[in-house]
Amino acid sequence: MRTQVGIIGAGPAGLLLAQLLHQQGIESVIIERQSRAHVEARIRAGVLEQGTVKLLRAAGVHERMDREGLIHEGISLAFADRQERIDLHKLTGGSTVMVYGQTEVTRDLIQARLDAGGVIEFEAPALAVEDYVGGSASPTRIIYEKAGKPQALLCDFVAGCDGYHGIARTSMGADKLSLFEKIYPFGWLGILSDTPPVDEELIYANHVRGFALCSMRSPTRSRYYVQCSLDERVEKWSDDAFWDELRRRLPPATAEKLVTGPRLEMSIAPLRSFVAEPMRAGNLFLAGDAAHIVPPTGAKGLNLAAADVFYLSRALIAYYGEKRTDLLDRYSATCLRRVWKAIRFSWWLTTLMHKFDDEPISYRLQLAELDYLTGSAAGSTTLAENYVGLPFEPFE
């Protein structure tokens, strides 16, 4: 099989890239190791920055998002039995975020891809990327398996959108990459339930017992998290135990409003910061979790992947439309500037909101900073600007 751009991974990054390229008449094929049902059922975060929303609209996959997504103009920080609102809209000159689950984004993109006649090879694990170094006499190839048999996809360029454990970054070779990683000493225990959210906007809670987050997927479906140790096991937690612990970490007035119910899903997510540099080697480009991972505290994972796709799609469109290579050459450096700013913000917010040790001074220092942030226009604005998403750099 031959195509112009081979894409590994049918997550939001790979699917969005394929859709944007399709709009410009550029062919692509997506190779995905899991089944369609598995991909469409994965539970992921769902806070979209304004730039991501605009990009999905530009890709023509916005109908259901605009109908069902929840526009949020603020978030709340809860600490010391207080709940203080950060007015994102006012502090950023009109910017907002949208709550629309990554699961739904993925479903919309898959449907758009199939409706356009695009090729997604599900249940086809990629095994290697070969001959991706520029100037090779052989075409770049993705070696993958389909129905137990090895296959090859020949292409001009490969977009590795296959996540942290994918083959794209591994194929680059350790000698071509610098890796940066921080593992956090805790995880998030999360529950999904068909219950109305405790608040109209997200609540980030700092408590002496640990962090908590009150989020939602819709007006009738809630997503809640509590900080837990890395050795916790889901099977040890009953629904009642989770709800009791969540109540303890919220201000009393908020806890009283909490509506509980049986879980639809419960899981534990570890937290890490990770960056691979550079994000390009020859004709192989990394995007999304294949190149970087952020703690979910700042809601940056999907949004960083969308930003990568913004830059990569424009670079490929410039190449096929005008034979320009300058944007391809600038792709990695441009993406990484944004990546490191998001890594910094997510690290800072994680450090501010979570319990790292039992020293009373650590908790008091967190409370002092939260008191400053919520009482200072400058402090609140810095948080708001980063939360709604930094603007894309000019890339033409």
| Catalytic residue numbers, as ranges | 72, 204, 296, 300, 387
Q: Give Cα separations from 127 to 162, 170, 323 (angstroms).
A: 12, 10, 30
**In this structure, what token pair is assigned to residue 238?**
């009953």
Cα separation of 63 and 289, whole Å?
Answer: 26
What 3-state class would DSSP assign to 50? helix
Residue for token digits 């998030």?
Answer: 188
Nearest Cα to Cα of residue 223 among 12, 44, 30: 44
Going by their DSSP bridges, the two strands 203-205 and 74-79 should be labelled as: parallel
Report H helices in 299-376: 301-322, 326-353, 360-375
Report H helices in the chain: 12-23, 36-41, 50-58, 63-68, 88-91, 102-115, 167-172, 239-248, 252-255, 301-322, 326-353, 360-375, 377-388
Cα separation of 156 and 175, whole Å?
Answer: 23
Query: Do residues 295 and 184 touch, judged by C-beta distance below 8 A?
Result: yes
Beta bridge partners of 5: 28, 157
End-to-end distance of the chain based on CA atoms, in angstroms?
A: 31
Cα separation of 51 and 391, whole Å?
Answer: 7
Cα separation of 61 and 109, whole Å?
Answer: 7
CB count, 10 Å around CB of 203? 21
Query: What are the respective helix, strand and coil percentages of the chain, to the nearest 5?
Result: 40, 30, 30
Phi, psi of 334 (to 5 degrees): -65, -45
DSSP conformational letter for 2: B
